Amino acid sequence: MKQNFSNISKVRGELSLPGDKSISHRALIFSALADGKSTIKNLADSQDVNTTIECFAKVGVNINNVGEVYRIEGAGFKGFNESDSPLYCGNSGTTSRLISGVLAVQDFPTVITGDESLSNRPMGRIIEPLEKMGCKIISKDGKLPLHILPCDRIKAIDYILPVSSAQVKGAVLLAGLHSEDFTTVEENNLFTRDHTERMLNLPVEIIGGKKITKISSAFYPKPADYFIPGDISTAAFFIVLTLISKNSNLILRNISLNETRTNFLNILISMGAEIIITPKGNSNNEPFGDVIVKSSELKNIEIDPNIIPGIIDEIPILSIAGALAEDDFIVRGAKELRVKESDRINSICLNLNKAGFDITEFDDGFSIGGKLENSYQSFESYGDHRIAMGFSVLASLTEKGSEVNGFECVSVSNPNFLNQLNSIAEFS
Ligand code: S3P
């Protein structure tokens, strides 16, 4: 589907966004594991999170939605049923990798499948540690479908993450929940989002650039009431739109302020962005608060490759801020972007090149210089929700308006993107 965007002259108002996608997946998983009733408020409104709900329904977890509250009747330790058909994870890397950590330790088989994009993403990164833990998984060259065989005994392991991935860390930790012995996961310098460890209250040690997280069955989740703070990665698109539009300001209410997710705000502030952050509280160990954003003049800064895992989902929209800022915008050390919902390095470079910028593509990043062309542009989503939303922002900033092809994939994380955009925009 082609979506046309008119030029936005000003941004004004307030947004309260649906819950963070990463926290929502985990709240559902912990509720499904717990023995008893849990509730979730402000769950993400997203296709990805719906696949997690559907997968747990297939293994016998009762999840229903009454008004704004999800009620989950958890299965308890080893209480899931075998599914009579494959668990389809759609486009969701987080669903496929995290539920593999839960289902690979059960005494029944499971098949995990996904859409075309997910079927091309690497799964060897979870198969390797899970097999070290005693799980048995047959894959198609390290890709979906995964045929998970019954597991008779789960072994605790000490694992050093070879790729900076919170999904891999999460899969190992979730499997580790099923052994009385301690499993440890070590991250070096490049720390990833920490929702699993925060929400399960896991012991974490940081020593000389290494972060070690421990888990055992002593940390098995109990029924809980969750409130999910607004999605900061979704907010990022509206934040950049406001910064770049003239005479604009925006208030985002009750947004996640988890420090492993707000690095892009620190980068924008160092680039000259006027952003005021007001912490308001904590829910299930996850901090949240309000963020006020005002139009600003931005100037590019050097981005430390060690911060890349902390801005991995915001690089598409940061690239648009960087392309429109003074000086060149350079990202290096971000090879992981090539195995996201699309090859994001390539998707960003092709679209920005079309828009008239001078682009150099590297194996692990890109540099952007030059200026936005003044003509109507036709951007491609490449079937990737964050590329679609990022280039919708750029399309709204072009003088003559522009379009995004394949826009419908925004529903993977935010089906209401267009309504939210229209609610805060004034058009020229
Ligand atoms: C996620 C982790 C990140 C991120 C994804 C969500 C999570 O992936 O890109 O959108 O919820 O754990 P990786 O951990 O593979 O980098």
Q: pLDDT by residue (tens digit) across 20-69?
A: 999 999 999 999 999 999 999 999 999 999 999 999 999 999 999 998 99
98 by DSSP, 3-state: which?
helix
- Range 219-237 average pLDDT: 98
Q: Identify the pLDDT of residue 218.
A: 98
Q: Identify the pLDDT of residue 62.
A: 97
Output the DSSP codes for 12-52.
EEEEEPPBPHHHHHHHHHHHHHSSSEEEEES---SHHHHHH
Question: To the nearest whole percent, how much of the chain has pLDDT over 90?
Answer: 98
Residue whose CA lies nearest to ligand 1 atom number 11: 22
Between CA 176 and CA 227 the distance in angstroms is 25
The Å distance, Cα 94 to ligand 1 centre, comes to 6
Between CA 189 and CA 245 the distance in angstroms is 36
What domains does the chain contain, in order, with CATH numbers?
2-17+230-427 (3.65.10.10), 21-155+168-176 (3.65.10.10)
Between CA 14 and CA 428 the distance in angstroms is 20
Q: Identify the pLDDT of residue 6.
A: 97
Does ligand 1 have an atom closer than 6 angstroms to the CB of 166? yes
Q: Identify the pLDDT of residue 422.
A: 98
pLDDT in tens, 77-93: 999 999 999 999 999 99
CA torsion sign, 396 to 370 to 270 to 24? positive
- What's the pLDDT band for 182 if we cut at 50, 70, 90? very high
The Å distance, Cα 375 to ligand 1 centre, comes to 35
Cα-based distances in Å from 55 to 85, 99, 152: 10, 8, 22
361 secondary structure, DSSP code:
E
Q: Does position 165 have pLDDT exceeding 90, yes or no?
A: yes
Between CA 251 and CA 254 the distance in angstroms is 10
The closest of 263, 250, 261 to 290, measured between CA atoms, is: 250
Q: Does position 428 have pLDDT exceeding 90, yes or no?
A: no
Tell me which residue has tokens 């070096």. Answer: 188
Q: Identify the pLDDT of residue 374.
A: 85
Pocket test for ligand 1, best of 167, 199, 213, 339 (most atoms within 8 A of CB): 167
Note whether 192 and 163 are within 8 A (CB): no
Does ligand 1 have an atom closer than 6 angstroms to the CB of 289? no
- What's the pLDDT band for 369 if we cut at 50, 70, 90? very high
Q: Identify the pLDDT of residue 53.
A: 98
Question: Which atom of ligand 1 is nearest the CA belonging to 170?
Answer: 12
- Range 203-220 average pLDDT: 97
276 by DSSP, 3-state: which?
strand
Q: Identify the pLDDT of residue 195.
A: 98
Does ligand 1 have an atom closer than 6 angstroms to the CB of 48? no
Q: Identify the pLDDT of residue 357.
A: 98
Q: Identify the pLDDT of residue 227.
A: 98
Is the pTM value of this prediction over 0.95? yes
Tell me which residue has tokens 């082609």. Answer: 2
Within 143-286, where are the H helices?
A: 166-176, 195-199, 232-244, 263-270
Q: Does position 298 have pLDDT exceeding 90, yes or no?
A: yes
Residues contacting residue 198 through CB under 8 Å, at least 6 positions apart = 258, 284, 285, 286
User: So which residues are the catalytic ones?
Assistant: 313
Question: Which atom of ligand 1 is nearest the CA belonging to 312?
Answer: 9
Counting other chains too, the contacts that 61-67 makes at CB distance below 8 Å and 24 or more residues apart are: 61/32, 63/28, 63/32
- What's the pLDDT band for 308 if we cut at 50, 70, 90? very high
pLDDT in tens, 258-293: 999 999 999 999 999 999 999 999 999 999 999 999
Q: Measured between alpha carbons, how far apart are the two ends of the chain, in Å?
A: 24
The strand pair at 210-215 and 183-188 is best described as antiparallel
pLDDT in tens, 318-358: 999 999 999 999 999 999 999 999 999 999 999 999 999 99
Tell me which residue has tokens 């529903």. Answer: 411
The two structure tokens encoding residue 350: 């092709």
The Å distance, Cα 209 to ligand 1 centre, comes to 21
pLDDT in tens, 108-162: 999 999 999 999 999 999 999 999 999 999 998 999 999 999 999 999 999 999 9
The strand pair at 378-380 and 402-405 is best described as parallel
The Å distance, Cα 325 to ligand 1 centre, comes to 27
Q: Which amino acid is at 385?
A: H
